[in-house]
């Protein structure tokens, strides 16, 4: 059995149980915090896959990174302990992705990535989010990324749809029209 199907089984079981217990949103938030911490602190991932780090230490690290007290007892904490007990901690990132996708689909949430060359103020993000929500009739989660290579303008990804209105993209189009054989 491949790793993707293992992660999918764990994520699906957790999501179904979380929905039954009405804690699916709570777990979604903990996974969001944990994923953000994994991106911010690569040492967390290193500790997670290190066989010399005890399951108890990994458990405490994962709960702390999720914003929980290691003494807490919830479906989420029991799930984390189950992963560690079954030595599936290497599946955690994939489980997080799958669970969050299931949650978004079930709750009709579109994930939007708004990429600009410079940071944009919250008011602009709020207006963009509201406009997309009016258009799609779904809840929108907007993540802003800063990429100076865009020079100016923006890129927008809504689900599978990509819109590139960056200066970099416009310059590339002009270059292609001027030198089509390049």
pLDDT tens-place string over residues 71-80? 777 899 999 9
Over the chain, what is the mean pLDDT? 92
Query: What pLDDT does 41 receive?
Result: 92
Residue 101 pLDDT exceeds 70: yes
Compute the distance between CA of residue 163 and CA of residue 157 in angstroms, rounded to an integer.
6
Residue 181 pLDDT exceeds 90: no
Q: Give Cα separations from 3 to 46, 95, 114, 145 (angstroms).
A: 19, 10, 31, 30
Query: What pLDDT does 67 receive?
Result: 87
Compute the distance between CA of residue 155 and CA of residue 106 in angstroms, rounded to an integer.
26
Higher model confidence: residue 73 or residue 140?
Answer: 140
What is the percent of the chain where pLDDT is above 90?
81
With contact defined as beta carbons under 8 Å apart, do 18 and 100 qualify?
Answer: no
The distance of Cα 73 from the centroid of its chain, to the nearest Å, equals: 24
How sure is the predictor about 6, in pLDDT bands with cuts at 50, 70 and 90?
very high
Strand partners, 43: none
With contact defined as beta carbons under 8 Å apart, do 45 and 37 qualify?
Answer: no
Q: What is the pLDDT averaged over residues 128-149?
A: 93
Q: Among 27-41, 59-73, 105-119, 140-154, which is the least confidently predicted range?
A: 59-73
What is the percent of the chain where pLDDT is above 70?
96
**Residue in the structure block whose two tokens are 């066989």:** 51
């Amino acid at each position: 059995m491949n790793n993707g199907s293992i992660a999918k089984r764990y994520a699906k079981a957790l999501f179904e149980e979380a929905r039954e217990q009405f804690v699916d949103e709570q777990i979604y938030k903990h996974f969001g915090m944990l994923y953000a911490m994994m991106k911010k602190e690569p040492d967390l991932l290193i500790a997670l896959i290190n066989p010399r780090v005890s399951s108890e230490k990994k458990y405490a690290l994962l709960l702390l990174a999720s914003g929980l007290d290691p003494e807490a007892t919830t479906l989420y904490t029991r799930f984390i302990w189950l992963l560690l007990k079954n030595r599936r901690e290497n599946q955690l990132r994939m489980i997080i992705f799958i669970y969050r996708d299931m949650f978004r689909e079930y709750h009709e949430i579109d994930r939007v990535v708004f990429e600009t060359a410079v940071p944009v103020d919250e008011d602009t993000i709020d207006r963009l989010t509201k406009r997309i929500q009016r258009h799609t009739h779904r809840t929108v989660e907007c993540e802003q990324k800063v990429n100076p290579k865009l020079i100016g303008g923006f890129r927008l990804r809504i689900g599978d749809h990509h819109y590139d209105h960056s200066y970099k993209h416009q310059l590339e189009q002009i270059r292609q029209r001027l030198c089509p054989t390049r």
